[in-house]
Amino acid sequence: MPPSEMNSGEDELIRLLLKRQSELNSLLELTRAINKNIATPVLIQMLEVICRNYLQIGKLRFLIAEGNNYICISKYGGQFEPTGELYKACKHLKKIKEPAALQGVSHPVLEAYDFFIPIYQKNKAIAYALIGDFNSPDDMVSNDINFMQTIINVVLVALENKKLFKQRLESERLQREMELAAEMQSMLIPVKGYADDHIDLSARYLPHQNVGGDYFDFIQVNDHEYLWCIADVSGKGISAALLMANFQASLRAWVSVEDDLPTIVERLNKIVLRNTKGEKFITLFIAIYNHSTRKLTYVNAGHNPAILYANGSAVQLKMGTTIIGAFDELPFINPGELQIEPGALIFNYTDGLLDRETDTTKIWNEERLMTCVKKNGKLTAEKFNQAILNHIDNNVKAKPIDDITVLTLKFK
């Protein structure tokens, strides 16, 4: 073999070895950056540097799947096309599963590019790359395209890991938020039972898997009067729990200085509206009972009506106003007043008691609840609550979709 041919062969081998070394160095720098959790824009910038300076790619369009759409995360060189046109052009090549040359392809967008690189995962295209102004030597084209495909795959894995990491952090944040909301909500539950010579009270709170906005309170205002309420805030999570915590503090503050129930409700409406700017609202049933006069005054603010049982009959307590926190001024407040007879019972509940995952209105609704109240109204407060919950467990198989709160008072 002539010396010139030997030298030529050695030069080619050296060139290939240097190219392989450059490929490994590029790949190493990219993986190091990924391991350092480098920001996505910097990662894309590194990809572009490799394409421009090492692979001699003069024009690049790199699209990745984002939900049901595609976004172009990297583009340089030439006149930029709308992402929609790029995506339609790539879909024109949907039958191509491997990197392919675009010579001879008749398409107004694709004609400006030399190669098409699709990336598939489980038969779904997750990325497309279009390469133009490609100055790789003819004998290295196949090698460079394969290396480009490798680099794209590495970047895609890194982006997917970033997405999964972000989702995990978001999941952990939401989990912690729910835990905090549950802790706050548990602190809002004042009593599970109370009894004296005048009333017997029993309450049950059954949280759903998500933290809801149920709340109830019981306050002995003075030697003769008791106040109680049951409420439900729209929404769930920490925001609902915070709103209820503020609502409880406001309620207790106003009860300590004001004895007129409509005035208290008006003040609470303004406080809720100011805190939420109309984005959330609260339904509320609130009542004051004077055991000396046996007079009960109540306001139902858009809540499930409390049920009064007395002498074998049951009636709903509907007088009051609309939801609070939705209007600057409540359009009306019509408090209800009635005399409470010995042995009477008042049952308060939130909408989680009736609402179920599937339609159960034929076997469980307000009418059937009223029947249950009349059937069990002579029981003590604690036994009454248990009887209602047992009836639901035995007759309604569908699961609840919200928290359940029940609050029952038996008058002596």
Which whole number is the average pLDDT over 159-171?
80
Distances (CA, A) of 330 to 251, 265, 292, 325: 17, 9, 31, 9
Which whole number is the average pLDDT over 356-377?
89
Report the distance separating Cα 52 and Cα 30, nearest Å.
Answer: 15
CATH classification (class only), 3-163:
alpha beta
Sort strands 320-321 and 295-301 into parallel, antiparallel or unpaired.
Answer: parallel
What pLDDT, on a 0 to 100 scale, did the predictor assign at position 1? 47
Which distant-in-sequence residues (6+ apart) come within 8 Å of 265 by Cβ?
Answer: 284, 286, 299, 301, 320, 321, 324, 330, 333
Q: What are 258's two structure tokens?
A: 């004001």
pLDDT band at 122 (very low <50, low <70, confident <90, very high): confident
Distances (CA, A) of 102 to 57, 63, 191: 15, 17, 75
Give 336's strand partners.
298
**Candidate from 138-142, 217-221, 401-405 with smallest mean pLDDT:** 138-142
> Which tops the pLDDT comparison, 342 or 40?
342
- Strands (E) located in 160-224: 193-195, 199-206, 214-220
Q: What is the pLDDT of residues 3-19, one digit of tens each?
A: 455 455 565 555 555 56
Domain boundaries, the chain: 3-163, 178-411
What pLDDT, on a 0 to 100 scale, did the predictor assign at position 179? 66
What's the mean per-residue pLDDT of the chain?
Answer: 85
Whether the per-residue pLDDT at 220 is higher than 50: the answer is yes
Amino acid identity, residue 201? Answer: L
In the CATH scheme, what is the code of domain 178-411?
A: 3.60.40.10
